[in-house]
């Protein structure tokens, strides 16, 4: 089934493309780890297979934005239970708050999704359980004008992948391969023991 490194790298790219496009993909919500050793589940919004860049959305006020600004090393873990494939990705993260990519991502989001950026900053203390949203937007979809203040809190997290660790779990024997990307963009792969 997986007999060549080129086949595996192509399969990884195809899985990431599907994960970004298909909400039902088991890899749609990877675990993202920042250099401060904090991990969280995020939604994969896009994958550019030419640059091997993941795009995710975040709040510019979130602690992860400051962590990535201080140290851009980021990792992602994705797992497809049915296929028995795990991918661990390492790369460089970048938080964007302005520019064409951010504007396009904002424009492609629904108003219901955009309302998340109207609320308190992620991690803000509260006296009780809270969504952080202003009360008037609990369960309500705001209109475009009401969302104007939310735009300044919206950010894009780009992760440029420079290493992939691929693991296939099989009762006959697991398989594992690693890939690293050189400065010219070329990928080098090798088989390793699981």
CATH of residue 60's domain is 2.30.110.10
**What pLDDT does 2 receive?**
84
Full domain range(s) for residue 9: 5-101+156-192
**What pLDDT does 40 receive?**
97
**What pLDDT does 186 receive?**
94
Q: Split the chain (194 residues) into runs of 10 and give each run's mean pLDDT.
A: 92 98 98 97 97 98 97 98 98 98 97 95 94 92 95 98 97 96 94 97
Q: What is the per-residue pLDDT across 69-111, written as a single tens digit (0 to 9) for each?
A: 999 999 999 999 999 999 999 999 999 999 999 999 999 999 9
Residue 138 covered by a domain: no
Q: Name residues whose C-beta falls within 8 Å of residue 74's C-beta, 6 or more positions apart in sequence.
A: 32, 33, 34, 35, 68, 90, 91, 92, 93, 159
Q: How many CB atoms lie within 10 A of CB 162?
A: 18
Residue 68 covered by a domain: yes
Number of domains in the chain: 1
Do 54 and 27 contact (CB within 8 A), yes or no? no
How many whole angstroms separate alpha carbon 36 and alpha carbon 42?
17
């Amino acid at each position: 089934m997986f007999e060549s490194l080129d086949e595996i790298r192509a399969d990884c790219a195809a899985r990431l493309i599907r994960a970004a496009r298909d909400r039902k993909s088991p890899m749609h919500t990877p675990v993202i780890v920042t250099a401060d050793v904090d991990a969280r589940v995020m939604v994969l919004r896009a994958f550019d297979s030419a640059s091997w860049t993941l795009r995710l959305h975040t709040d510019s006020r979130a602690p992860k934005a400051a962590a990535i600004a201080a140290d851009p090393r980021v990792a992602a873990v994705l797992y497809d239970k049915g296929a028995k494939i795990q991918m661990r990705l390492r790369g460089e993260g970048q938080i964007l708050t302005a520019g064409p990519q951010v504007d396009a991502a904002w424009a492609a989001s629904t108003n219901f999704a955009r309302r998340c950026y109207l609320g308190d900053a992620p991690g803000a203390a509260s006296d009780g359980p809270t969504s952080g949203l202003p009360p008037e937007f609990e369960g309500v979809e705001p209109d475009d004008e009401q969302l104007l203040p939310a735009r300044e809190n919206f950010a894009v997290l780009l992760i440029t992948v420079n290493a992939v660790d691929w693991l296939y779990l099989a009762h006959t024997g697991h398989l594992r391969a690693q890939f690293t990307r050189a400065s010219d963009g070329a990928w080098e792969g090798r088989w390793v023991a699981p």
